[in-house]
Amino acid sequence: MASALLSKTTSDWCVNLLCPRYPSPPPILSHPPTLLLTWRPFRDFFSTKRLSTFLAMDGSKAGPLKELPLGIDATTEEEYASQSKLLQEFTSISSIDKAWIFKSDSGIGSQAMFSISQPNLLANKRKKFILSSHISRESNNSVNFQWAPFPVEMMGVSVIVPSPSGAKLLVVRNPENESPCQFEIWGRAQVEKEFHIPQSVHGSVYADGWFQGISWNSDETLVAYVAEEPSPSKPTFTGQGYKKGSSTEKDFGNWKGQGDWKEEWGETYAGKRQPALFVININSGEAQAVKGIEKSLSVGQVVWAPPVRGSHQYLVFVGWSEGTRKLGIKYCFNRPCALYAVRAPNFESEADGPELKDNSTEDVPVVNLTQSISSAFYPRFSPDGKFLSFLSARSSVDSGAHSATDSLHRIDWPIDGLLSSSAKIVDVVPVVMCAEDGSFPGLYWSSFLSNPWLSDGCTMIITSIWGSCQVILSVNVLSGEVIRISPTDSNSSWSVLTLDGDNVVAVSSSPVDVPHIKYGYLVDKESKSTAWSWLNVPSPTNECSEKVKSLLSSLQFSIMKIPLRDVSDSVTKGAAKPIEAIFVSSKTKRNDPFDPLIVILHGGPHSVSLSSFSKSLAFLSSIGFNLFIVNYRGSLGFGEEALQSLLGKVGSQDVNDVLVAIDHVIDLGLASPSKLAVLGGSHGGFLTTHLIGQAPDKFVAAAARNPVCNLALMVGTTDIPDWIYVEAYGSESKNSFTDAPSAEHLTLFQSKSPIAHVSKVKTPTLFLLGAQDLRVPVSTGLQYARALKERGVPVKVIVFPNDTHAIERPQSDFESFLNIGVWFKKYLS
């Protein structure tokens, strides 16, 4: 057959294949059989098996065809292979997540325990480890960390929480099915207690970092925590129909109906039941739900109130009311919340303690401690128990922006234990509207340690954002004094891990430096000096491969200030200030005068790109790209006026800010206008797809992860429809959004969307989409990608079937950035 086919003329091919629509191939006899594989009718007619047989019958030296993965051709396969090896080296770098300090048995120095994690690509999970160290101060200018030889993997562990004294460790293992939740109490050398809490009591313990709250009481006999409420009873049916007296128990002779649908808190909380408050007695293993809390209130961030002799113990928690519906809460600080106090359950073991004034826990009202403020979270009691400090996102709640400038407050705590809902709220650190150059810009995304206090009992050590950097601050809760204690001459980002007495264990990193542990101390405690000194701590966590070290050492970064153009006289002072961008480049010139430049845009929009280490971005830097990471107006860290200026102006002000920044870096001679690509996710994807439409000749290639492409389509399917109203109309619309938008609303949303400019797009674009995304549903990205295909624009789409908005599962994140690297190499090389 093969020889007969090869003797045919070109016209015979078209007749035999019944495909006259295909362009004619070159004369067959003048080309080897392998060349025929590139001709479409030949490929369409013959299966891979037939082709292999054909080549073998022809006597060709070529073996059986190697079938390439979908979406990869022979040209890009080598690029995939080489880039994937390098990306794996970056991916394997471990992350430092948390740390705890304990007193040493000898009384000399202290013991540290670090929680570190590392992606496991084969298992598609993150491995968690504990790495221990002994800390000793040898002199004022040196510290010694003696590390354990190896870390210990914490398999199946959801969360760990040491007791205040460090004598016990709570280890929680959440079930992956209907099994009980497992609580373990560890001592120094063994597991002392193990309890299994059945699903009829509660579901998984929240370990999400937001609702999550696990707190030991002062005598370390009780632990308060937040877990999913038990599964509700559902209707039961048998062969004869509905069975009365439904229960949660399973029976092979019946089946369960679905029952009423219940609202959830949106993105990442799909399938999670309402967070509720529980207390477990670690002596008996008895777990009780805390009574008196309204069912409509979701609880989180619980802490024990200071004990009062002869009185009941109280718990303080954050409560979110769902109102008419639950809107997405992940990354959304504009959800009203308050601090509440509730009486803790009594256990029989408490009978040995002081006689209580009232043994009843029924009908005791839950006290709202912060009625006069629209937001209150992260409660922390002072060491002496005299006051309660907390953060507030009232700027977010009051304006509708999903994140904004935070404020810090305190209330005095009654020493007699008699609580009041009218306690005076003292403003400690107010919202900063417009910061002068180099001055404190306000609190942002601040995170609190479980014990953030120095020994004076009134100074907290916290992490916050200052421009494009993450910094460590000391805040005096009585005077309101705020001091930046991480180095002011450092453009790196810093984050506090834990406190060692009055000293700080922190982690520092930059776009070109992997995370390193630092040890900070006050230079002169006796004087009123506020100067801090920081020591480098050699650590196994600093390690990475020699290849990665070499590549990172060849890179440099700077933070640019970029003046705005054509600023209106009507804008506020803070909104007229320069924006910032992080520029990452090679220290040495490569072959071409200019390296290709990737413009990187963060999501939100009220988020920020920090000068911290990102494995994915470091990978892109290491394969020959310069990075230009723009913090446009609306980003966190630059004052409230600049942030609020974006509301109602998305798709115009933010787009113009990015274009001004790009022109600036080109004018400095640091980039070529013919070698630009753009990359963004979420609102960064909104900007990416806007830019390739509004500036269609500017970018050679683009990539978008879960991009917001059509607000009119998204408003009916997202978990945050209010976000669309506020960003499109402005803060005045925060209370007027509806799940039934009018034609006028939809018209405006369409006009503000990238889809309005799709007809002008020429740029080849890669789309990376999470099929389980509730924030920016996959339909919006697919619609835009199909519209580009319809117009002949090169498009590649990868959908990750089990990923949510962040596309953060290890395999998905890996494949995502591998494809970004290959895509940009294809069009920018």
Report the C-alpha gap between 804 and 267 in whole angstroms: 7
Task: List the end-to-end C-alpha distance of the chain, in Å, as a whole number.
Answer: 43
Report the C-alpha gap between 474 and 467 in whole angstroms: 17
* DSSP letters for 63-101: -SPPPPPTT--HHHHHHHHHHHHHHHHHHT--EEEEEEE
773 is catalytic: yes
697 is catalytic: no
Structure-token pair, residue 159: 């969360």
Measured in residues, the chain has a length of: 829
Catalytic residue, from 513, 773, 803, 813: name it: 773
The answer to whether residues 110 and 133 touch, using CB atoms and an 8 Å cutoff, is no
Three-state secondary structure along 708-753?
A: CCCHHHHCCCCCCHHHHHHHHHCHHHCCCCCCCCCHHHHHHHHHCC
The answer to whether residues 580 and 561 touch, using CB atoms and an 8 Å cutoff, is yes
- Residue 73 backbone dihedrals phi, psi, to 5 degrees: -105, 175
Catalytic residue, from 446, 682, 733, 753: name it: 682
Structure-token pair, residue 124: 């598609």
Q: Give bridge partners of residue 185 from the DSSP assignment.
A: 170, 193
Report the C-alpha gap between 663 and 673 in whole angstroms: 9
Structure-token pair, residue 717: 């399917």
Structure-token pair, residue 580: 């910032």
Q: Give bridge partners of residue 521 from the DSSP assignment.
A: 533
Structure-token pair, residue 309: 């002799």
Cα 390 from chain centre: 22
Cα 652 from chain centre: 26
The answer to whether residues 493 and 510 touch, using CB atoms and an 8 Å cutoff, is yes
CB atoms within 10 A of CB 747: 12
247 is catalytic: no
The answer to whether residues 182 and 194 touch, using CB atoms and an 8 Å cutoff, is yes
Please state, in angstroms and as integers, the Cα–Cα distance from residue 51 to each residue in 14, 43, 664, following that order: 18, 8, 55
Q: What Rg do the C-alpha atoms of the chain give, in angstroms? A: 30
Residue type, 447: S
Give the torsion sign (CA, 653, 655, 660, 661).
positive
Please state, in angstroms and as integers, the Cα–Cα distance from residue 812 to each residue in 126, 365, 638, 767, following that order: 13, 47, 33, 13
Catalytic residue, from 513, 805, 812, 813: name it: 805
Structure-token pair, residue 32: 């080897």
The answer to whether residues 413 and 306 touch, using CB atoms and an 8 Å cutoff, is yes
- Give the active site residues: 682, 773, 805
